[in-house]
């Protein structure tokens, strides 16, 4: 099992840093799943930057069964999809819900996670 945990500064460049870290940990995934993981982590880190407070942490767990990524900040706001997304945002958690095999929010925190299962390779 491979696990990486890091803190990200509250700067826009942290989105790119998170994508790069996820890319380095997802070599076993197919290219579409790697792209999906990068997009989802981008959405979660962007949400933490725009709506969160305090430190931002990123945890990447990758084993033979799945890739699990968690983004957290120090807020205590209940995280949920925006009821009416539009031109100015509200799409991030909807993207995660659409692409992830599973996702959720740890109760009482702004700790959001998603999972991508490793799919068997077909010949």
Q: How far apart are the C-alpha atoms of 26 and 48, rounded to whole Å?
A: 22
123 has pLDDT over 50:
no
Domain total in the chain: 1
Q: What's the average model confidence in pLDDT over 2-30?
A: 91
Mean pLDDT for the stretch of residues 7-15: 96
Among 9-13, 41-45, 78-82, the minimum mean pLDDT is found in 78-82
Q: Domain range for residue 7?
A: 2-117
Q: Please state, in angstroms and rounded to a whole number, the distance separating the CA atoms of residues 17 and 109.
A: 23
pTM listed for this prediction: 0.85
For residue 123, is it within any domain? Answer: no
Asked if residue 40 belongs to a domain, the reply is: yes
What single-letter DSSP state applies at residue 2? E
In tens, the pLDDT along 51-99 reads 888 999 999 999 888 999 999 998 877 666 566 655 565 667 888 999 9
**What band does 30 get if pLDDT is binned at 50, 70 and 90?**
confident
**Would residue 9 count as lying in a domain?**
yes
- Main-chain dihedrals φ then ψ at residue 26, nearest 5 degrees: -120, 25
Residue 116 has pLDDT above 90, yes or no: yes
Q: Is residue 50 part of a domain?
A: yes
CATH of the domain at 62: 3.30.565.10
**Is residue 122 situated within a structural domain?**
no
How much is the mean pLDDT over the chain? 85
Flag whether 53 is in a domain.
yes
């Amino acid at each position: 099992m491979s696990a990486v945990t890091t803190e990200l500064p509250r700067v826009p460049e942290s989105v790119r840093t998170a994508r790069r870290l996820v890319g380095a940990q997802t070599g076993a995934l197919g290219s579409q799943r790697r792209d999906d993981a990068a997009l989802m982590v981008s959405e979660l880190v962007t949400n933490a930057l725009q709506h969160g407070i305090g430190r931002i942490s990123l945890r990447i767990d990758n084993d033979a069964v799945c890739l699990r990524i968690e983004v957290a900040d120090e807020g205590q706001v209940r995280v949920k999809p925006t009821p009416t997304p539009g031109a100015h945002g509200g799409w991030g958690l909807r993207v995660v819900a659409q692409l992830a095999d599973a996702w959720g929010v740890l109760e009482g925190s702004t700790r959001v996670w998603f999972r991508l299962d490793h799919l068997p390779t077909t010949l």
